[in-house]
Amino acid sequence: MNTVSKALAGLFLTGAALTGSAPAWAAQVSRSAGPKTSQMQETAEPSPAIQPQDATRVADWIAASGDNNALPYAIVDKKAAALLLFDAKGKKLGQVPVLLGIAPGDDASPGIGSKNLSEIGPAEKTTPAGRFLARFGVAAGNTRVLWVDYATSVALHPIPRPGKPKEKRRERMLSPTSDDNRITFGCINVPIAFYTKTISPLFRKKGGYVYVTPDVKPLEEVFPRIRLQSFANTGG
Chain-centroid distance of CA 102 in Å reads 14
Q: Give tens-digit pLDDT for 52-103.
A: 889 999 999 999 999 999 999 999 999 999 999 999 999 999 999 999 999 8
Indicate the number of domains in the chain.
1
Note whether 203 and 73 are within 8 A (CB). no
pLDDT value of residue 40: 41
The boundaries of the domain holding residue 207 are 3-233
Which residue has better confidence, 233 or 130? 130
Q: Give tens-digit pLDDT for 132-183.
A: 999 998 766 677 889 998 888 899 999 877 678 888 888 898 888 888 899 9
Q: Is 28 exposed, middle or buried (0-12, 13-18, 19+ CB in 10 A)?
A: exposed
In this prediction, residue 221 has a pLDDT band, given cuts at 50, 70 and 90, of: very high
pLDDT, mean over the chain: 76
How far is 70 from 73, CA to CA, in rounded Å? 9
How far is 5 from 223, CA to CA, in rounded Å? 27
pTM: 0.76
Domain CATH number, residue 65 = 2.40.440.10
pLDDT value of residue 97: 94
